Amino acid sequence: MGRVFFYPRKGAPVTERQAKESEGVLHLTGAQMVCESLVREGTDIMFGLPGGAILPLYQTLPEYPQLRHILVRHEQNAGHAADGYARASGKVGVAVATSGPGATNLVTPLATAMMDSVPIVAITGQVPRAAIGRDAFQETDTTGITLPITKHNYLVMDTADIPQIMSEAFHIARTGRPGPVLIDLPRDVLTESDDFDYPEHVDLPSYKPTMEGHGQMIKRAAQLIADSQRPLLMVGHGAIISGAFAEVREIAEKAQIPVITTLLGIGSFSGEHILSMGMPGMHGQAYNNWAIDRADLIIGVGMRFDDRVTGRLSAFAPNAKVIHIDIDPAEVGKNVRVTVPIVGDAKRVLHALEKQVEQVSRPEWMSEIDAMRAEHPLGSGHGSGLRPQHVVRELCDVTDGRAIVVTGVGQHQMWAAQHYVFKEPGSWITSGGLGTMGFEVPAAMGAAFAQPNRPVWSIAGDGGFQMTMSELATIVEHNVPVKFAILNNNNLGLVRQLQDLFYGGSRVASGYSANPDFVKLAEAYGIWAKHVTDEPQVRSAIEEAAAVDGPAIIDFHVEPEENVYPHVPAGESVFEMIESPAGREALSWLT
């Protein structure tokens, strides 16, 4: 079956296919079915690495030149690249791996995508059906392993089921609260042939996400907003996923409600807006936590009152009623008691709610917040060396707050979240829920494939970067113009900070005494790179890197003793918040 069908866009088959259909239904191998399905779902790129069990799929790829395959260096990176691609494009990311170790290498990216509600379809090879359960070479129970870290998964035992399963998988991944879906394909299911009849649309009676909010609840919410003196909007990833940017702004402006954005909600509301407050929680702007403590109404939108946001639940927002808007009913009432629950799509619910809220002004609440902001300013660094905060601010300035910023996990992530002021929605890509170090390299690569015309900056930790830097080779191979700003403190910085603050400064296994010279490493790959040791060099280095046609790496030798402030100790309340190195002394009883 060496035929090639070209589909210029989703759902628009050209004459060859129509001719074929008039002859009757397509008869395809399982591998061809997977490719056909991917094309119909609008997939144009996938990230993967082959092996025996998945090889029939790979050997079929030449028949489908419209499916671009990016060969990675490690399957974990395929998963994170698909994640970065999905977050930057709003489309479903696709990752491919073989059975056994290939599939287990997808565990971390699947869990990452699950926690952050990112639509990914992962396709894995499996041993032939007859070998399943016999501990065959490279057999692993992939659907079993990934059961709790996927939105749904499938082990395909019949070639004829492939079209139905593929269409379901994409539907489940991208609708409702998005998430990763895995499809495990035994090798002989890929090689056998059967009729291919792709479902026009998916109808799963047991899966019908609620999109519209309950009218009665919306009415009650509007009433609560009208009655409130000190309301706050807390906006999360759900607002970005549903594209509720205009709706958030409209309701905030009309009802004069300051907007807090959670770590994953950054970018859902312009950081420059007068009502923008920044991030709450453990490392959020301190005044936000005080504002939450004062608020009489919290409107959570597409967020889940995560423990990093709330701190100790019993002390969270003690004076506030809560309106919680989320598409996932299980999130509503899970962590905090909700006064008005609204299950639905953030964009539609906010649109309906906006019509019912009244135009008001809240001068007292605004001036109270302004006073808190003035009293608890965001620190810009305490150490003597190159300040990482300064690097992020310069980066923001040079890129005019319009770059796509991808981070790893740790101090650099928090500084990026605090100091990069985003002007454009959906430009911030970070592993929030799972907190996956190493995300910064492959996810940035995936984002750059999705948005080739936008600058993509990876703000990296030296720890995380070294976890996944094998992907530099892939980046060079495809001349992906990702720019890396490594905030190199020769430490697992956030761990070192925890040890200093809460373990009496006992620094166990948190220092890297033999990091590579990242500039020489870049040279080995043929990547433009530069060391930066002093603040005056920061800006010009960023400008130079931005001008490079292709990837670039800047190794910023930042002050290793710098800490992220504020720091609400895990499980504590805002009253235990450490706002500066001085606050640490006051808190010595905690250690």
Partner 1 sequence: MADVSLNGHVHTITALVHDRPGVLARVAGLFSRRGFNISSLAVGHSETAGLSRMTFVVEGGDWVVEQVTKQLYKLIDVVRVTNISSESSVVREMALLKVKSNKDNRAEIMQIVDIFRAGIVDVGKDTVIVEVTGDEGKIDALIKLLQPFGVRETMRTGRIAMTRGGVAAGTKQTAVPAAQSAPDTEVVP
Residues that bind ligand TPP (CB under 6 A): 408-412, 435-438, 461-464, 487, 489, 491-495
Taking the complex as a whole, the smallest distance from the CB of residue 291 to ligand TPP amounts, in Å, to: 27
Residue 416, amino acid: A
CB-CB contact of 61 with 106 (8 Å) = no
- Contact residue for partner 1 among 332, 429, 469, 578 (CB under 8 A): 332
Looking at beta carbons only, is 317 or 529 nearer to ligand TPP? Answer: 529
Helical H segments across 214-270, by residue range: 215-227, 237-241, 245-255
Q: Find which of partner 1, ligand TPP, none residue 210 binds, CB within 5 to 8 Å per kind.
A: partner 1
Taking the complex as a whole, the smallest distance from the CB of residue 181 to ligand TPP amounts, in Å, to: 23
Looking at beta carbons only, is 178 or 433 nearer to ligand TPP? Answer: 433
Q: By CB under 8 A, is residue 437 in contact with partner 1?
A: no
Looking at beta carbons only, is 175 or 468 nearer to ligand TPP? Answer: 468
Looking at beta carbons only, is 118 or 332 nearer to partner 1? Answer: 332
Residue 212: exposed, middle, or buried by beta-carbon count in 10 A (0-12, 13-18, 19+)?
middle
Q: Find which of ligand TPP, partner 1, none residue 322 binds, CB within 5 to 8 Å per kind.
A: partner 1
What lies within 8 Å, CB to CB, of 439 at 6+ separation is: 80, 83, 112, 406, 407, 408, 409, 430, 431, 464, 468
Q: Find which of ligand TPP, partner 1, none residue 489 binds, CB within 5 to 8 Å per kind.
A: ligand TPP
Q: Find which of partner 1, ligand TPP, none residue 201 binds, CB within 5 to 8 Å per kind.
A: none
CB-CB contact of 315 with 291 (8 Å) = no
Q: By CB under 8 A, is residue 151 in contact with partner 1?
A: yes
Q: Find which of ligand TPP, partner 1, none residue 115 binds, CB within 5 to 8 Å per kind.
A: none
CB-CB contact of 376 with 290 (8 Å) = yes
Q: By CB under 8 A, is residue 92 in contact with partner 1?
A: no
Q: CA 127, CA 479: separation in Å to the nearest integer?
A: 35
Q: CA 424, CA 426: separation in Å to the nearest integer?
A: 7
Q: By CB under 8 A, is residue 208 in contact with partner 1?
A: yes
Residue 121: which H helix or E strand, with range? strand 120-126
Q: Find which of partner 1, ligand TPP, none residue 437 binds, CB within 5 to 8 Å per kind.
A: ligand TPP
Q: CA 56, CA 467: separation in Å to the nearest integer?
A: 30
Looking at beta carbons only, is 385 or 435 nearer to ligand TPP? Answer: 435
CB-CB contact of 409 with 461 (8 Å) = yes
The per-residue DSSP string of 338-379 comes to -SEEEES-HHHHHHHHHHHSPP---HHHHHHHHHHHHHSPPP
Taking the complex as a whole, the smallest distance from the CB of residue 409 to ligand TPP amounts, in Å, to: 4
Q: By CB under 8 A, is residue 334 in contact with partner 1?
A: yes
CA distances 168 to 61, 187, 209, Å, are 22, 21, 14
- Return the SS3 of 443: helix
Q: Find which of partner 1, ligand TPP, none residue 581 binds, CB within 5 to 8 Å per kind.
A: none
Looking at beta carbons only, is 143 or 407 nearer to partner 1? Answer: 143
Long-range contacts of 370-375 (CB under 8 A, 24+ apart): 372/287, 372/290, 372/291, 372/294, 373/277, 373/285, 373/287, 375/287
Residue 483, amino acid: K
Residue 363: exposed, middle, or buried by beta-carbon count in 10 A (0-12, 13-18, 19+)?
exposed
Which residue in 395, 405, 382, 366 sits closest to 287, CA to CA? 366
Q: By CB under 8 A, is residue 348 in contact with partner 1?
A: no
- Contact residue for partner 1 among 155, 232, 403, 414 (CB under 8 A): 155
Q: By CB under 8 A, is residue 148 in contact with partner 1?
A: yes
Q: By CB under 8 A, is residue 335 in contact with partner 1?
A: yes
Q: Find which of ligand TPP, partner 1, none residue 89 binds, CB within 5 to 8 Å per kind.
A: none
Q: Find which of ligand TPP, partner 1, none residue 409 binds, CB within 5 to 8 Å per kind.
A: ligand TPP
Q: By CB under 8 A, is residue 464 in contact with partner 1?
A: no
DSSP letter (8 states) at residue 270: -
Q: Which stretch binds partner 1 (CB under 8 A): 82-90, 113-121, 205-213, 419-427?
A: 205-213
Q: Find which of ligand TPP, partner 1, none residue 110 binds, CB within 5 to 8 Å per kind.
A: none
CA distances 143 to 134, 139, 191, Å, are 16, 12, 21
Q: By CB under 8 A, is residue 336 in contact with partner 1?
A: yes
Residue 545, Ramachandran bin (φ over 0: left; ψ between -120 and 50: alpha; else beta): alpha
Looking at beta carbons only, is 208 or 520 nearer to partner 1? Answer: 208
Looking at beta carbons only, is 3 or 334 nearer to partner 1? Answer: 334
First CA to last CA distance, the chain: 68
CB hemisphere CA count around 403 (13 angstroms): 27
Looking at beta carbons only, is 98 or 143 nearer to partner 1? Answer: 143
- Contact residue for partner 1 among 15, 22, 206, 361 (CB under 8 A): 206
Site string for partner 1, 296-325 (x = CB under 8 A): -----------------xx-xxx-xxx---
Looking at beta carbons only, is 18 or 384 nearer to ligand TPP? Answer: 384
Please calculate the CA angle 499-501-506 and round it to the nearest 5 degrees. 35
Taking the complex as a whole, the smallest distance from the CB of residue 240 to partner 1 amounts, in Å, to: 21
Q: Find which of partner 1, ligand TPP, none residue 402 binds, CB within 5 to 8 Å per kind.
A: none
* 571: its two tokens: 């499980």
* 88: its two tokens: 């930057």
Q: Which residues make up the interface to partner 1 (CB under 8 A)?
A: 143-144, 147-148, 151-152, 155, 172, 176, 204-210, 214, 217, 313-314, 316-318, 320-322, 328-330, 332-341, 343
